[in-house]
Homo-oligomer: A and B are copies of this chain.
Amino acid sequence: MSQRPDSAPTRRKLIVVSNRGPVSYARGADGARTASRGGGGLVTALRPLVSHHDVTWIASAISEEDRRVAARAVDETGRDGATYRLRLVAHEEHAYRLFYDVVANPMLWFVHHGLWNLPYTPDLDRAFDLAWADGYAEVNAGFAAAVIAELEAAPDAAVFFHDYHLYLAPRLVREQCPEATLMHFVHVPWPQPDYWGVCPERVRRAIHDGLIANDLIGFQTDRWRRNFVYSAREFLGEDVTPKTVVAPISVDPSEFEEMARSEPVLAAEREIVLRRPEKLIVRVDRTDPSKNIVRGFRAFELFLEGHPELAGRIGMLALLNPSRQEVPEYAEYLEVIEHEARRVNERFREGDWTPIELQVGDDFPKSVAAYKQFDVLLVNAIFDGMNLVAKEAPLVNARNGAVVLSENAGAHEELADWAVSVNPFDVAGQADALDQALQIPEVERRRRLEAIREHVREHDIGAWIDLQLAALDRVAAPVRR
Protein backbone atom coordinates (compact mmCIF):
# COMPACT_ATOMS: atom_id res chain seq x y z
CA MET A 1 0.00 0.00 0.00
CA SER A 2 1.31 3.43 -0.84
CA GLN A 3 2.45 5.52 2.08
CA ARG A 4 0.45 8.65 2.67
CA PRO A 5 2.04 10.02 5.84
CA ASP A 6 0.03 13.24 5.62
CA SER A 7 -3.20 11.39 6.00
CA ALA A 8 -2.23 8.46 8.19
CA PRO A 9 -5.54 7.18 9.52
CA THR A 10 -6.19 7.04 13.24
CA ARG A 11 -6.00 3.49 14.52
CA ARG A 12 -9.50 2.40 15.51
CA LYS A 13 -11.43 -0.55 16.73
CA LEU A 14 -13.16 -2.35 13.86
CA ILE A 15 -15.28 -5.45 13.73
CA VAL A 16 -15.01 -6.67 10.14
CA VAL A 17 -17.73 -9.10 9.11
CA SER A 18 -17.55 -11.11 5.90
CA ASN A 19 -18.71 -14.57 4.93
CA ARG A 20 -15.26 -15.81 3.92
CA GLY A 21 -12.45 -15.19 6.37
CA PRO A 22 -8.85 -14.18 5.70
CA VAL A 23 -7.54 -17.63 6.69
CA SER A 24 -8.90 -21.13 6.81
CA TYR A 25 -7.49 -23.82 9.10
CA ALA A 26 -6.55 -27.41 8.49
CA ARG A 27 -4.82 -30.09 10.53
CA GLY A 28 -1.57 -31.42 9.11
CA ALA A 29 -0.47 -35.06 9.14
CA ASP A 30 1.45 -34.32 12.34
CA GLY A 31 -1.75 -33.19 14.02
CA ALA A 32 -0.64 -29.55 14.08
CA ARG A 33 -3.04 -26.82 13.00
CA THR A 34 -2.06 -24.98 9.82
CA ALA A 35 -3.58 -21.77 8.46
CA SER A 36 -3.92 -21.03 4.75
CA ARG A 37 -4.89 -17.77 3.10
CA GLY A 38 -8.55 -17.58 2.21
CA GLY A 39 -9.30 -16.87 -1.43
CA GLY A 40 -11.44 -14.30 -3.09
CA GLY A 41 -10.91 -10.71 -4.05
CA LEU A 42 -12.96 -9.40 -1.17
CA VAL A 43 -10.68 -10.88 1.45
CA THR A 44 -7.59 -9.71 -0.43
CA ALA A 45 -9.01 -6.22 -0.51
CA LEU A 46 -9.77 -6.20 3.19
CA ARG A 47 -6.38 -7.47 4.38
CA PRO A 48 -4.76 -4.02 4.63
CA LEU A 49 -7.40 -3.12 7.24
CA VAL A 50 -5.61 -5.22 9.83
CA SER A 51 -2.36 -3.32 9.31
CA HIS A 52 -3.85 0.02 10.26
CA HIS A 53 -6.60 -0.77 12.70
CA ASP A 54 -7.42 -2.83 15.73
CA VAL A 55 -9.46 -5.48 13.93
CA THR A 56 -11.66 -8.30 15.07
CA TRP A 57 -12.68 -10.26 11.97
CA ILE A 58 -15.85 -12.34 12.04
CA ALA A 59 -16.29 -14.92 9.30
CA SER A 60 -17.90 -18.29 8.62
CA ALA A 61 -16.09 -21.42 9.71
CA ILE A 62 -15.63 -23.33 6.47
CA SER A 63 -13.35 -26.31 7.15
CA GLU A 64 -13.66 -28.93 9.90
CA GLU A 65 -10.71 -27.36 11.63
CA ASP A 66 -12.33 -23.91 11.31
CA ARG A 67 -15.30 -25.30 13.21
CA ARG A 68 -13.00 -26.48 16.00
CA VAL A 69 -11.42 -23.04 16.19
CA ALA A 70 -14.84 -21.42 16.23
CA ALA A 71 -15.38 -21.95 19.96
CA ARG A 72 -13.45 -18.75 20.72
CA ALA A 73 -11.69 -15.88 18.94
CA VAL A 74 -8.02 -16.49 18.06
CA ASP A 75 -5.12 -14.15 17.43
CA GLU A 76 -3.89 -14.13 13.85
CA THR A 77 -1.11 -12.39 11.99
CA GLY A 78 -1.53 -10.51 8.68
CA ARG A 79 0.82 -10.49 5.72
CA ASP A 80 2.95 -7.63 7.07
CA GLY A 81 3.09 -9.04 10.60
CA ALA A 82 0.19 -7.01 11.97
CA THR A 83 -2.01 -8.96 14.37
CA TYR A 84 -5.79 -9.16 14.55
CA ARG A 85 -8.41 -11.28 16.26
CA LEU A 86 -10.35 -13.82 14.21
CA ARG A 87 -13.72 -15.11 15.34
CA LEU A 88 -15.12 -17.88 13.20
CA VAL A 89 -18.84 -18.64 13.35
CA ALA A 90 -19.75 -22.33 13.08
CA HIS A 91 -23.13 -22.27 11.40
CA GLU A 92 -25.29 -25.34 11.39
CA GLU A 93 -24.08 -27.11 8.26
CA HIS A 94 -27.43 -27.62 6.56
CA ALA A 95 -28.33 -23.98 7.19
CA TYR A 96 -25.02 -22.88 5.70
CA ARG A 97 -25.60 -24.92 2.55
CA LEU A 98 -29.04 -23.37 2.07
CA PHE A 99 -27.60 -19.92 2.76
CA TYR A 100 -24.71 -20.32 0.36
CA ASP A 101 -25.86 -22.69 -2.39
CA VAL A 102 -29.49 -21.61 -2.71
CA VAL A 103 -29.82 -17.98 -1.62
CA ALA A 104 -26.45 -16.24 -1.92
CA ASN A 105 -25.34 -18.17 -5.03
CA PRO A 106 -27.06 -18.28 -7.38
CA MET A 107 -30.19 -16.32 -6.31
CA LEU A 108 -28.71 -13.06 -5.02
CA TRP A 109 -25.62 -13.11 -7.22
CA PHE A 110 -27.83 -13.59 -10.28
CA VAL A 111 -30.16 -10.78 -9.21
CA HIS A 112 -27.23 -8.42 -8.64
CA HIS A 113 -25.74 -9.20 -12.06
CA GLY A 114 -28.93 -9.50 -14.13
CA LEU A 115 -28.25 -13.13 -15.05
CA TRP A 116 -31.67 -14.78 -14.78
CA ASN A 117 -33.42 -16.13 -17.85
CA LEU A 118 -36.76 -14.74 -16.69
CA PRO A 119 -39.12 -16.87 -18.81
CA TYR A 120 -37.74 -19.92 -16.96
CA THR A 121 -35.58 -18.93 -14.00
CA PRO A 122 -35.59 -18.39 -11.08
CA ASP A 123 -38.23 -20.92 -10.18
CA LEU A 124 -38.94 -19.99 -6.58
CA ASP A 125 -40.60 -22.97 -4.99
CA ARG A 126 -41.09 -24.12 -1.39
CA ALA A 127 -37.40 -25.03 -1.27
CA PHE A 128 -36.50 -21.37 -1.78
CA ASP A 129 -38.85 -20.24 0.99
CA LEU A 130 -37.18 -22.73 3.32
CA ALA A 131 -33.69 -21.74 2.19
CA TRP A 132 -34.50 -18.12 2.86
CA ALA A 133 -35.87 -18.76 6.36
CA ASP A 134 -33.74 -21.68 7.55
CA GLY A 135 -30.60 -20.80 5.59
CA TYR A 136 -30.09 -17.13 4.81
CA ALA A 137 -31.94 -15.69 7.79
CA GLU A 138 -30.43 -18.30 10.10
CA VAL A 139 -26.83 -17.70 9.05
CA ASN A 140 -27.36 -13.95 9.26
CA ALA A 141 -28.71 -14.45 12.78
CA GLY A 142 -25.54 -16.40 13.59
CA PHE A 143 -23.39 -13.54 12.34
CA ALA A 144 -25.49 -11.00 14.22
CA ALA A 145 -25.10 -12.96 17.47
CA ALA A 146 -21.31 -12.99 17.04
CA VAL A 147 -21.26 -9.24 16.35
CA ILE A 148 -23.45 -8.54 19.37
CA ALA A 149 -21.13 -10.61 21.58
CA GLU A 150 -18.10 -8.66 20.32
CA LEU A 151 -19.89 -5.35 20.80
CA GLU A 152 -20.55 -6.23 24.42
CA ALA A 153 -16.77 -6.36 24.93
CA ALA A 154 -16.09 -3.31 22.78
CA PRO A 155 -19.21 -1.16 22.40
CA ASP A 156 -17.27 1.64 20.69
CA ALA A 157 -15.99 -0.54 17.87
CA ALA A 158 -17.39 0.18 14.41
CA VAL A 159 -18.89 -2.83 12.66
CA PHE A 160 -18.02 -3.17 8.97
CA PHE A 161 -20.27 -5.65 7.13
CA HIS A 162 -19.47 -6.92 3.66
CA ASP A 163 -21.49 -7.81 0.64
CA TYR A 164 -24.60 -9.71 -0.33
CA HIS A 165 -24.23 -12.53 2.16
CA LEU A 166 -25.05 -10.33 5.13
CA TYR A 167 -28.05 -8.19 4.28
CA LEU A 168 -30.14 -9.22 7.28
CA ALA A 169 -27.47 -9.04 9.98
CA PRO A 170 -27.35 -5.24 10.39
CA ARG A 171 -31.05 -4.99 11.35
CA LEU A 172 -30.64 -7.83 13.86
CA VAL A 173 -27.63 -6.12 15.43
CA ARG A 174 -29.37 -2.73 15.44
CA GLU A 175 -32.35 -4.17 17.32
CA GLN A 176 -30.07 -5.37 20.13
CA CYS A 177 -27.53 -2.54 20.02
CA PRO A 178 -29.31 0.66 19.04
CA GLU A 179 -26.17 2.71 19.76
CA ALA A 180 -23.78 0.62 17.66
CA THR A 181 -21.93 2.09 14.70
CA LEU A 182 -22.68 -0.04 11.66
CA MET A 183 -21.50 0.22 8.09
CA HIS A 184 -21.87 -2.08 5.11
CA PHE A 185 -20.02 -2.22 1.83
CA VAL A 186 -21.80 -3.69 -1.18
CA HIS A 187 -19.20 -5.11 -3.56
CA VAL A 188 -21.66 -6.05 -6.32
CA PRO A 189 -23.75 -3.95 -8.72
CA TRP A 190 -27.07 -2.71 -7.35
CA PRO A 191 -30.01 -3.51 -9.66
CA GLN A 192 -32.86 -1.13 -10.36
CA PRO A 193 -36.18 -1.81 -8.62
CA ASP A 194 -37.90 -3.69 -11.44
CA TYR A 195 -35.11 -6.25 -11.42
CA TRP A 196 -35.35 -6.60 -7.65
CA GLY A 197 -38.91 -7.63 -8.46
CA VAL A 198 -37.45 -11.06 -9.22
CA CYS A 199 -37.42 -11.48 -5.44
CA PRO A 200 -40.77 -11.91 -3.70
CA GLU A 201 -41.91 -8.82 -1.83
CA ARG A 202 -40.97 -10.07 1.67
CA VAL A 203 -37.46 -10.92 0.45
CA ARG A 204 -36.70 -7.66 -1.34
CA ARG A 205 -38.16 -5.70 1.57
CA ALA A 206 -36.08 -7.58 4.14
CA ILE A 207 -32.91 -7.01 2.11
CA HIS A 208 -33.44 -3.27 1.85
CA ASP A 209 -34.65 -2.98 5.43
CA GLY A 210 -31.61 -4.89 6.67
CA LEU A 211 -29.23 -2.62 4.79
CA ILE A 212 -30.73 0.66 5.94
CA ALA A 213 -30.19 -0.42 9.56
CA ASN A 214 -26.57 0.57 8.90
CA ASP A 215 -25.34 4.09 9.61
CA LEU A 216 -23.60 4.08 6.26
CA ILE A 217 -23.79 1.95 3.13
CA GLY A 218 -20.91 1.99 0.68
CA PHE A 219 -21.08 1.31 -3.07
CA GLN A 220 -18.48 0.93 -5.79
CA THR A 221 -19.96 3.61 -8.04
CA ASP A 222 -22.45 6.42 -7.97
CA ARG A 223 -24.51 4.41 -10.44
CA TRP A 224 -24.99 1.51 -8.02
CA ARG A 225 -25.51 3.97 -5.15
CA ARG A 226 -28.29 5.80 -7.01
CA ASN A 227 -29.91 2.48 -7.90
CA PHE A 228 -29.92 1.56 -4.22
CA VAL A 229 -31.51 4.83 -3.10
CA TYR A 230 -34.11 4.37 -5.83
CA SER A 231 -34.98 0.78 -4.91
CA ALA A 232 -34.94 1.50 -1.16
CA ARG A 233 -37.53 4.24 -1.69
CA GLU A 234 -39.54 1.99 -3.98
CA PHE A 235 -39.73 -0.84 -1.46
CA LEU A 236 -39.59 0.95 1.89
CA GLY A 237 -41.27 4.26 1.15
CA GLU A 238 -40.40 7.65 -0.28
CA ASP A 239 -39.32 9.03 3.11
CA VAL A 240 -36.41 6.62 3.43
CA THR A 241 -33.12 8.53 3.30
CA PRO A 242 -30.27 6.05 3.60
CA LYS A 243 -26.80 7.45 4.24
CA THR A 244 -24.56 6.27 1.46
CA VAL A 245 -21.01 6.72 0.21
CA VAL A 246 -19.32 5.93 -3.08
CA ALA A 247 -15.99 4.23 -2.44
CA PRO A 248 -14.55 2.42 -5.47
CA ILE A 249 -12.58 -0.57 -4.30
CA SER A 250 -9.02 -0.77 -5.47
CA VAL A 251 -5.76 -2.67 -5.11
CA ASP A 252 -2.38 -2.25 -3.46
CA PRO A 253 -0.27 -1.03 -6.42
CA SER A 254 3.06 -1.77 -4.72
CA GLU A 255 1.99 -5.38 -4.24
CA PHE A 256 1.42 -5.72 -8.00
CA GLU A 257 4.60 -3.92 -8.93
CA GLU A 258 6.51 -6.25 -6.62
CA MET A 259 4.74 -9.29 -7.93
CA ALA A 260 5.50 -8.27 -11.51
CA ARG A 261 9.22 -8.61 -10.70
CA SER A 262 8.84 -11.92 -8.84
CA GLU A 263 10.37 -15.13 -10.20
CA PRO A 264 7.09 -17.04 -10.73
CA VAL A 265 5.70 -14.15 -12.78
CA LEU A 266 8.92 -13.74 -14.77
CA ALA A 267 8.92 -17.48 -15.53
CA ALA A 268 5.30 -17.37 -16.70
CA GLU A 269 6.07 -14.27 -18.72
CA ARG A 270 9.00 -15.93 -20.50
CA GLU A 271 6.67 -18.69 -21.56
CA ILE A 272 4.10 -16.22 -22.90
CA VAL A 273 6.76 -14.22 -24.75
CA LEU A 274 8.07 -17.38 -26.38
CA ARG A 275 4.67 -18.23 -27.83
CA ARG A 276 2.86 -14.93 -28.24
CA PRO A 277 1.88 -13.55 -31.63
CA GLU A 278 2.69 -10.00 -32.66
CA LYS A 279 -0.47 -8.64 -31.03
CA LEU A 280 -1.97 -10.14 -27.92
CA ILE A 281 -5.50 -9.58 -26.58
CA VAL A 282 -5.75 -10.71 -22.96
CA ARG A 283 -8.69 -11.45 -20.71
CA VAL A 284 -8.47 -12.73 -17.12
CA ASP A 285 -11.71 -13.74 -15.44
CA ARG A 286 -13.53 -16.24 -13.32
CA THR A 287 -15.79 -18.44 -15.49
CA ASP A 288 -18.82 -16.53 -14.25
CA PRO A 289 -21.72 -15.85 -16.64
CA SER A 290 -21.49 -12.19 -15.61
CA LYS A 291 -18.04 -11.94 -17.20
CA ASN A 292 -19.34 -12.26 -20.77
CA ILE A 293 -16.62 -14.57 -22.00
CA VAL A 294 -18.71 -16.15 -24.75
CA ARG A 295 -19.52 -12.81 -26.41
CA GLY A 296 -15.84 -11.88 -26.07
CA PHE A 297 -14.88 -14.87 -28.22
CA ARG A 298 -17.58 -14.03 -30.76
CA ALA A 299 -16.34 -10.46 -30.93
CA PHE A 300 -12.83 -11.72 -31.63
CA GLU A 301 -14.31 -13.98 -34.30
CA LEU A 302 -15.97 -10.97 -35.98
CA PHE A 303 -12.70 -9.08 -35.69
CA LEU A 304 -10.81 -11.89 -37.43
CA GLU A 305 -13.48 -12.02 -40.15
CA GLY A 306 -12.75 -8.38 -40.91
CA HIS A 307 -8.95 -8.71 -40.69
CA PRO A 308 -7.73 -11.68 -42.72
CA GLU A 309 -4.36 -9.88 -42.98
CA LEU A 310 -3.84 -10.41 -39.24
CA ALA A 311 -4.20 -14.20 -39.41
CA GLY A 312 -1.25 -15.68 -37.54
CA ARG A 313 -0.25 -12.27 -36.17
CA ILE A 314 -2.87 -11.74 -33.45
CA GLY A 315 -4.20 -13.94 -30.68
CA MET A 316 -6.47 -13.88 -27.66
CA LEU A 317 -5.17 -15.30 -24.41
CA ALA A 318 -8.04 -16.14 -22.06
CA LEU A 319 -6.95 -17.09 -18.55
CA LEU A 320 -10.07 -18.32 -16.82
CA ASN A 321 -10.43 -19.37 -13.24
CA PRO A 322 -13.12 -22.06 -12.91
CA SER A 323 -15.87 -20.85 -10.63
CA ARG A 324 -18.82 -22.43 -8.73
CA GLN A 325 -18.96 -25.53 -10.91
CA GLU A 326 -21.52 -27.09 -8.55
CA VAL A 327 -24.08 -24.54 -9.79
CA PRO A 328 -25.60 -25.88 -13.06
CA GLU A 329 -25.58 -22.47 -14.77
CA TYR A 330 -21.83 -22.18 -14.14
CA ALA A 331 -21.01 -25.69 -15.37
CA GLU A 332 -23.03 -25.02 -18.51
CA TYR A 333 -21.33 -21.67 -19.00
CA LEU A 334 -17.87 -23.23 -18.91
CA GLU A 335 -19.00 -25.81 -21.47
CA VAL A 336 -20.21 -23.09 -23.81
CA ILE A 337 -16.95 -21.17 -23.31
CA GLU A 338 -14.94 -24.21 -24.33
CA HIS A 339 -17.24 -24.94 -27.24
CA GLU A 340 -17.06 -21.40 -28.60
CA ALA A 341 -13.26 -21.22 -28.31
CA ARG A 342 -13.00 -24.52 -30.20
CA ARG A 343 -15.42 -23.32 -32.86
CA VAL A 344 -13.57 -20.07 -33.49
CA ASN A 345 -10.22 -21.87 -33.50
CA GLU A 346 -11.43 -24.49 -35.96
CA ARG A 347 -12.73 -21.78 -38.23
CA PHE A 348 -9.56 -19.69 -38.35
CA ARG A 349 -6.66 -21.93 -37.32
CA GLU A 350 -3.71 -21.86 -39.75
CA GLY A 351 -0.46 -23.77 -39.41
CA ASP A 352 0.64 -23.60 -35.78
CA TRP A 353 -1.39 -20.45 -35.07
CA THR A 354 -4.34 -20.87 -32.70
CA PRO A 355 -6.47 -17.70 -32.52
CA ILE A 356 -7.81 -18.24 -28.98
CA GLU A 357 -5.60 -19.73 -26.33
CA LEU A 358 -7.96 -20.78 -23.57
CA GLN A 359 -6.43 -21.76 -20.24
CA VAL A 360 -8.79 -22.81 -17.49
CA GLY A 361 -7.13 -22.92 -14.11
CA ASP A 362 -6.05 -20.88 -11.11
CA ASP A 363 -2.59 -19.47 -11.77
CA PHE A 364 -2.17 -15.95 -10.44
CA PRO A 365 1.51 -15.53 -11.49
CA LYS A 366 0.48 -16.37 -15.03
CA SER A 367 -2.32 -13.81 -14.84
CA VAL A 368 0.14 -11.12 -13.77
CA ALA A 369 2.48 -12.19 -16.58
CA ALA A 370 -0.41 -11.81 -19.03
CA TYR A 371 -1.14 -8.37 -17.52
CA LYS A 372 2.42 -7.39 -18.48
CA GLN A 373 2.07 -8.71 -22.03
CA PHE A 374 -1.29 -7.47 -23.29
CA ASP A 375 -1.65 -5.15 -26.27
CA VAL A 376 -5.37 -5.04 -25.62
CA LEU A 377 -7.02 -5.94 -22.33
CA LEU A 378 -10.63 -7.02 -22.83
CA VAL A 379 -13.05 -6.45 -19.93
CA ASN A 380 -16.57 -6.78 -21.36
CA ALA A 381 -18.55 -7.85 -18.26
CA ILE A 382 -22.36 -7.96 -18.48
CA PHE A 383 -22.46 -6.34 -15.04
CA ASP A 384 -19.59 -6.09 -12.59
CA GLY A 385 -19.45 -4.32 -9.22
CA MET A 386 -15.97 -3.00 -9.98
CA ASN A 387 -13.72 -5.40 -11.95
CA LEU A 388 -10.24 -5.20 -10.47
CA VAL A 389 -8.56 -6.70 -13.53
CA ALA A 390 -9.13 -3.32 -15.20
CA LYS A 391 -7.10 -1.68 -12.42
CA GLU A 392 -4.47 -4.37 -11.84
CA ALA A 393 -3.42 -5.11 -15.40
CA PRO A 394 -2.55 -1.54 -16.48
CA LEU A 395 -0.37 -1.14 -13.36
CA VAL A 396 2.14 -3.69 -14.61
CA ASN A 397 1.64 -3.68 -18.38
CA ALA A 398 4.90 -3.31 -20.29
CA ARG A 399 3.61 -2.77 -23.84
CA ASN A 400 1.54 0.41 -23.62
CA GLY A 401 -1.51 -1.77 -23.99
CA ALA A 402 -5.02 -0.41 -24.48
CA VAL A 403 -8.03 -1.24 -22.31
CA VAL A 404 -11.43 -2.16 -23.78
CA LEU A 405 -13.93 -1.72 -20.96
CA SER A 406 -17.62 -2.57 -20.52
CA GLU A 407 -19.89 0.35 -19.74
CA ASN A 408 -21.49 -1.95 -17.12
CA ALA A 409 -18.29 -2.56 -15.13
CA GLY A 410 -17.98 -0.39 -12.04
CA ALA A 411 -14.44 0.51 -13.11
CA HIS A 412 -15.95 2.32 -16.10
CA GLU A 413 -17.06 5.16 -13.84
CA GLU A 414 -13.40 5.88 -13.00
CA LEU A 415 -11.52 4.78 -16.12
CA ALA A 416 -13.81 5.55 -19.08
CA ASP A 417 -11.74 8.53 -20.23
CA TRP A 418 -8.75 6.30 -20.84
CA ALA A 419 -10.44 3.17 -22.16
CA VAL A 420 -12.38 2.15 -25.26
CA SER A 421 -15.94 1.72 -23.97
CA VAL A 422 -18.11 -1.17 -25.11
CA ASN A 423 -21.70 -2.23 -24.65
CA PRO A 424 -21.45 -5.81 -23.36
CA PHE A 425 -24.32 -7.09 -25.54
CA ASP A 426 -23.06 -5.51 -28.75
CA VAL A 427 -20.72 -8.11 -30.20
CA ALA A 428 -20.17 -6.14 -33.40
CA GLY A 429 -19.34 -3.09 -31.29
CA GLN A 430 -16.80 -5.12 -29.33
CA ALA A 431 -15.15 -6.30 -32.54
CA ASP A 432 -14.91 -2.67 -33.65
CA ALA A 433 -13.51 -1.71 -30.24
CA LEU A 434 -10.71 -4.28 -30.52
CA ASP A 435 -9.88 -2.75 -33.89
CA GLN A 436 -10.04 0.76 -32.52
CA ALA A 437 -7.87 -0.17 -29.52
CA LEU A 438 -5.19 -1.61 -31.82
CA GLN A 439 -5.23 1.55 -33.95
CA ILE A 440 -4.54 3.99 -31.11
CA PRO A 441 -1.11 5.56 -31.71
CA GLU A 442 1.55 4.41 -29.27
CA VAL A 443 2.03 7.84 -27.69
CA GLU A 444 -1.68 8.06 -26.94
CA ARG A 445 -1.78 4.53 -25.57
CA ARG A 446 1.12 5.36 -23.29
CA ARG A 447 -0.63 8.52 -22.11
CA ARG A 448 -3.81 6.61 -21.30
CA LEU A 449 -2.02 3.79 -19.52
CA GLU A 450 -0.10 6.30 -17.41
CA ALA A 451 -3.34 8.08 -16.55
CA ILE A 452 -4.92 4.83 -15.38
CA ARG A 453 -1.85 4.03 -13.28
CA GLU A 454 -1.80 7.44 -11.72
CA HIS A 455 -5.48 7.16 -10.91
CA VAL A 456 -5.12 3.71 -9.33
CA ARG A 457 -2.06 4.75 -7.31
CA GLU A 458 -3.91 7.78 -6.04
CA HIS A 459 -7.09 5.82 -5.35
CA ASP A 460 -5.60 2.67 -3.88
CA ILE A 461 -7.07 0.21 -1.41
CA GLY A 462 -5.93 2.35 1.50
CA ALA A 463 -7.79 5.32 0.09
CA TRP A 464 -10.87 3.11 -0.25
CA ILE A 465 -10.82 2.33 3.46
CA ASP A 466 -9.98 5.88 4.56
CA LEU A 467 -12.78 7.29 2.45
CA GLN A 468 -15.34 5.07 4.10
CA LEU A 469 -14.13 5.65 7.64
CA ALA A 470 -14.13 9.39 7.08
CA ALA A 471 -17.67 9.19 5.73
CA LEU A 472 -18.68 7.05 8.69
CA ASP A 473 -17.37 9.68 11.10
CA ARG A 474 -19.39 12.34 9.31
CA VAL A 475 -22.67 10.43 9.44
CA ALA A 476 -22.39 8.48 12.69
CA ALA A 477 -20.69 11.01 14.93
CA PRO A 478 -23.39 13.68 15.05
CA VAL A 479 -26.00 11.10 15.92
CA ARG A 480 -24.38 9.13 18.67
CA ARG A 481 -21.32 10.89 20.05
- Give residues in A with beta carbon < 8 Å to B: 114-115, 117-120, 122-126, 128-129, 191-195, 197-201, 227, 289-290, 292, 294-295, 298, 302, 329, 333, 336, 382, 407-408, 423, 425-429
Q: List 15 A-B contacts (CB under 8 A).
A: A114-B118, A118-B425, A120-B294, A122-B425, A123-B425, A124-B425, A124-B428, A125-B302, A191-B194, A192-B194, A194-B227, A197-B423, A198-B425, A199-B423, A201-B407
Q: For A336, what are the chain B residues with a Cβ–Cβ distance below 8 Å?
A: 120
Q: Assess the B200–A425 pair: CB atoms within 8 A.
A: yes
- Complex A-B, nearest 7 residue pairs according to Cβ-Cβ distance, in ascending order: A119-B289, A117-B117, A192-B192, A200-B426, A200-B423, A124-B426, A126-B428
| Docked pose: A428 CA to B202 CA in angstroms | 13
Output the least CB separation between A130 and chain B (Å).
Answer: 10
| Docked pose: A329 CA to B408 CA in angstroms | 26
A197 touching B122 in the complex, CB below 8 Å, given contacts A192-B192, A428-B129: no
Q: For A290, what are the chain B residues with a Cβ–Cβ distance below 8 Å?
A: 119
Interface centre among A199, A294, A425 (most CB of B within 10 A): A425
Q: Assess the B119–A382 pair: CB atoms within 8 A.
A: yes
| Docked pose: A227 CA to B230 CA in angstroms | 12
- Give A128's nearest chain B residue, CB to CB: B428
Q: How many copies does the complex hold?
A: 2
A115 touching B119 in the complex, CB below 8 Å, given contacts A128-B428, A200-B423, A428-B129: yes
- Give A231's nearest chain B residue, CB to CB: B192
| Docked pose: A382 CA to B197 CA in angstroms | 10
- Given contact pairs A123-B427, A126-B302, enumerate 18 new A-B contacts (beta carbons under 8 Å): A118-B425, A119-B289, A119-B292, A119-B294, A119-B329, A119-B333, A120-B294, A123-B295, A123-B425, A124-B426, A126-B428, A129-B428, A191-B194, A197-B407, A197-B408, A198-B425, A200-B423, A201-B423
Q: For A428, what are the chain B residues with a Cβ–Cβ distance below 8 Å?
A: 124-126, 128-129
Q: Assess the A427–B125 pair: CB atoms within 8 A.
A: yes
Output the least CB separation between A113 and chain B (Å).
Answer: 8
| Docked pose: A75 CA to B69 CA in angstroms | 86
Q: Which one of B114, B124, B294 contacts A427 once the chains associate, using CB atoms below 8 Å?
A: B124
- Give A201's nearest chain B residue, CB to CB: B423
Q: Assess the A118–B192 pair: CB atoms within 8 A.
A: no
A195 touching B198 in the complex, CB below 8 Å, given contacts A115-B119, A125-B428, A425-B122: no
Q: Assess the B124–A429 pair: CB atoms within 8 A.
A: yes
Q: For A122, what are the chain B residues with a Cβ–Cβ distance below 8 Å?
A: 425
Q: For A407, what are the chain B residues with a Cβ–Cβ distance below 8 Å?
A: 197, 201
Q: For A124, what are the chain B residues with a Cβ–Cβ distance below 8 Å?
A: 423, 425-429
| Docked pose: A227 CA to B234 CA in angstroms | 12
Q: Assess the B333–A382 pair: CB atoms within 8 A.
A: no
- Give A293's nearest chain B residue, CB to CB: B119
Output the least CB separation between A435 and chain B (Å).
Answer: 13
Q: For A333, what are the chain B residues with a Cβ–Cβ distance below 8 Å?
A: 119
Q: For A298, what are the chain B residues with a Cβ–Cβ distance below 8 Å?
A: 123, 125
Q: Assess the A114–B194 pair: CB atoms within 8 A.
A: yes
| Docked pose: A200 CA to B290 CA in angstroms | 18
Output the least CB separation between A203 and chain B (Å).
Answer: 9
| Docked pose: A298 CA to B298 CA in angstroms | 36
| Docked pose: A408 CA to B200 CA in angstroms | 12
Output the least CB separation between A186 and chain B (Å).
Answer: 16
Q: Assess the A193–B192 pair: CB atoms within 8 A.
A: yes
Output the least CB separation between A94 and chain B (Å).
Answer: 20
Output the least CB separation between A105 and chain B (Å).
Answer: 15
Output the least CB separation between A224 and chain B (Å).
Answer: 10
| Docked pose: A198 CA to B426 CA in angstroms | 8
A194 touching B195 in the complex, CB below 8 Å, given contacts A115-B119, A119-B294, A129-B428: yes
| Docked pose: A333 CA to B292 CA in angstroms | 25
| Docked pose: A200 CA to B128 CA in angstroms | 35
- Give A113's nearest chain B residue, CB to CB: B118
- Give A127's nearest chain B residue, CB to CB: B428
| Docked pose: A425 CA to B125 CA in angstroms | 9
